[in-house]
Amino acid sequence: MDPLRHLKFSVATLIIIIGCGTFGYFLIEGWTLFDSLYMTVITLATVGFREVHDLSDQGKVFTIILIISGTGIIAYVLGSLIQFMVEGQLLKLLGRKKLQTQVSKLNNHYIVCGFGRIGHLVCREFSAKPIPFVIVEKDPHMIERIEREGFWYVEGDATDDDTLLEAGIKRAKGLVTAVTSDTDNVYITLTARGLNPSLFILSRAGEEGSEKKLLRAGASKVISPYTIGAYRMAQAVLRPSVVDFIEIATGRESVELQLEEIQVAERSELVGKNLVNAGIRQSMGIIIVGINQPDGHMIFNPSPATAIVSGAILITLGERPAINQLEKIAFGQGA
């Protein structure tokens, strides 16, 4: 049994025996509830004080039974308390309370369901960005790994409404379900979509045919790691230079070149300008590969006369310091 549950059980048992002793003296001796409680406490504590009132024979028998059973229970409670303290469960409980407070303050964040190989890599990328996120995991061994990594988490089943609510799904921007079971991914997607209809949900598909089920369940986008992996391996043979370029541009370890997307805020000075007037290429050396318009229309290799509108997402290619500078301008924070 978990030490915390063990302690809770022993304390509950102690409360029950005190209650039984109090009502026992109340019924047998006809004392007041306070006198009965006092007699029960000094009896269980074995402090040796005299009786509150003279005991009848039935009361003496009841006292003997109470001493025999109560002494063992008190020893059990003390043992549980020592175990709880020695194993550091108190500190762990305080840390868990602090974690819950931190998670409850999250807003516009992402929820990652499952901390397996895929979930772990997703969390590493989110952390490197950085993007606020919280992990939902039920495996105790994975929880220990998450704690070592220093990530925020909620322990529980992601298919359960209460668990997702504790992870702040009502305030979340998106959810990534990356557990190994396609059935669980479908249930998680259904639950998440029901709790937050506007949520962006990215689901992992493992088996062939699962993609359609996940989309019907409410997934915004479905990714199959095996399909992507197979395609990437084929392209590494057929188009090795292209693959090398993509790895350089999208790898977070690369400092020379980064492929990034930047959304233009309404207050940004870029709004209303075209690509030439904005000076993105000339002053920052950043190439605009594409522009995803607010209506979802994607413009590939936009012309210099293409206007920048509020809400557009710029697909950029350039060095990380220059991209950071453009992000500030696009967010309306100045250069």
pLDDT at 218: 94
- Longest alpha-carbon distance in the chain: 103
Runs of H (alpha helix) within the chain: 3-28, 33-45, 57-86, 89-104, 117-128, 140-149, 161-166, 182-195, 210-217, 225-238, 240-250, 275-278, 280-284, 320-330
Q: Cα separation of 115 and 121, whole Å? A: 9
In this prediction the pTM is 0.61
pLDDT at 128: 84
CA neighbor of 111 nearest in space, from 170, 187, 182: 170
CA neighbor of 140 nearest in space, from 172, 163, 115: 115
pLDDT at 244: 78
56 sits in the region (left: phi over 0; alpha: psi -120 to 50; else beta) called beta
pLDDT at 285: 87
pLDDT at 2: 60
Residues of the chain with pLDDT under 50: none
